[in-house]
Amino acid sequence: MKNNLLQSYKDAAELLNNFIQNEDEIAKTVKASEMIAEVFQNGGKGMSAGNGGSLCDALHFAEEFTGRFHKDRKALPVIALADPTHITCVGNDYGFDDIFSRGVEAFGKSGDFFLGLTTSGNSPNIIKAVEKARENNMKVILLLGKDGGKLAGKGDIEFIIPGKTSDRIQEVHMTILHIIIEGVERITFPENYS
């Protein structure tokens, strides 16, 4: 068992190391940070969504902006589409595939951004949310897994992590999210990093 678990640590490290060795991925991280900072500077907001562990990551992403990340600063507007009353209402009345798109329809406006997480790239409710975000003229950032699935090519910025399992993919997704948040803070609150 010890060797199996050690191999899991090594697999996680290898996936992250492969990601950070790719200059294009680092450039996309910078671009995502700049895009989100610009949305905030223009008075817009963000929305995030995912399923299961990816919804937990979407919640974590949002609270890092509304709360505190590295240092004290003004709260920034990001909403995780995770309200259980909304999810159960829409799921019951319209279907599970509509739980996020209805939230985007309700809260999204031109100039806002939507961040979707799906380790398969094939989650129908994230696909529909992206479609609604496009209808609302919102920017779209996607964190995907494996080969990107049906959502590959649908985002303004996409991170596709070619992991074999959702846990390894989500670990890299969370690292990306934290680095993007740091990038937004460095742009928006440079005094906190001097």
Domains of the chain, start order: 2-193 (3.40.50.10490)
Q: pLDDT > 70: what percent of the chain?
A: 100
Exposure on the CB side of residue 27, measured as CA atoms within 13 A? 3
CA distance 32 to 158: 9
Using the 8-state DSSP alphabet, how is residue 112 labeled? -
Q: Could you report the per-residue pLDDT of 48-90, keeping only the tens digit for each?
A: 999 999 999 999 999 999 999 999 999 999 999 999 999 999 9
Q: What is the amino acid identity at position 128?
A: K
Return the number of other C-beta atoms located less than 10 Å from residue 110's C-beta: 9
Order of strands across the sheet with 139-145? 78-80, 46-49, 113-118, 139-145, 157-161
**pLDDT number for residue 194:** 85
Q: Which residue has the tokens 């610009």?
A: 38
CA distance 121 to 100: 15
How does residue 3 score in pLDDT terms, banded at 50, 70 and 90?
very high
The radius of gyration of the chain from alpha carbons, rounded to an integer in Å, stands at 17
Q: Which residues contact 72 (CB under 8 A, 6 or more apart)?
A: none
**pLDDT number for residue 37:** 98
Mean pLDDT of 137-155: 98
Cβ atoms of 161 and 148 within 8 Å: the answer is no
pTM recorded for the entire structure:
0.96
CA distance 62 to 83: 13
Q: Could you report the per-residue pLDDT of 14-29, keeping only the tens digit for each?
A: 999 999 999 999 999 9
